[in-house]
């Protein structure tokens, strides 16, 4: 998962009004934290180089699937060599 999302600040200029600055929120990041359209957030200024986006209300986490214990993964009995021939995989019982 990517942890950084570089973006550019956008300026919207309307006639007879001051320019407004906009920051978009990347969809993969929004999906990762469950952020939705219309949700209220606020900026928290830490210093001139760092802002935090704070959610006014954090929604409950809703899983889309139930977590289950994975079945034991079967171990292959042979590995493929570089020339396409197969050789037995040692089972580690002879040590």
Closest CA relative to residue 55, chosen from 33, 71, 86, 29: 33
* Average pLDDT in the chain: 78
Residue 30's nearest CA partner among 56, 64, 53 is 53
pTM, two decimals, is 0.50
Mean pLDDT of the 16-35 span: 89
Q: Is 50 helix (H, G, I), strand (E, B) or coil?
A: strand
Mean pLDDT over 11-29 rounds to: 90
Residues 6+ apart with CB under 8 A from 92: none
Question: What percentage of the chain has pLDDT greater than the value 70?
Answer: 61
At 64-95, the pLDDT tens digits run 666 666 666 656 655 555 555 556 556 655 54
Of 30, 12, 7, nearest to 22 by C-alpha is: 12
């Amino acid at each position: 998962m990517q942890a950084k999302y570089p973006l550019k600040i956008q300026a919207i200029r309307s006639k007879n009004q001051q320019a407004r600055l906009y920051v978009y929120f990347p969809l993969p990041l929004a999906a990762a934290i469950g952020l939705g359209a219309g949700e209220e957030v606020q900026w928290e200024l830490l210093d001139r180089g760092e802002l935090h986006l704070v959610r006014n209300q954090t929604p409950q986490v809703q899983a889309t699937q139930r977590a289950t214990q994975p079945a034991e993964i079967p171990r292959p009995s042979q590995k493929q060599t570089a020339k396409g021939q197969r050789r037995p995989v040692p089972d580690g019982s002879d040590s």
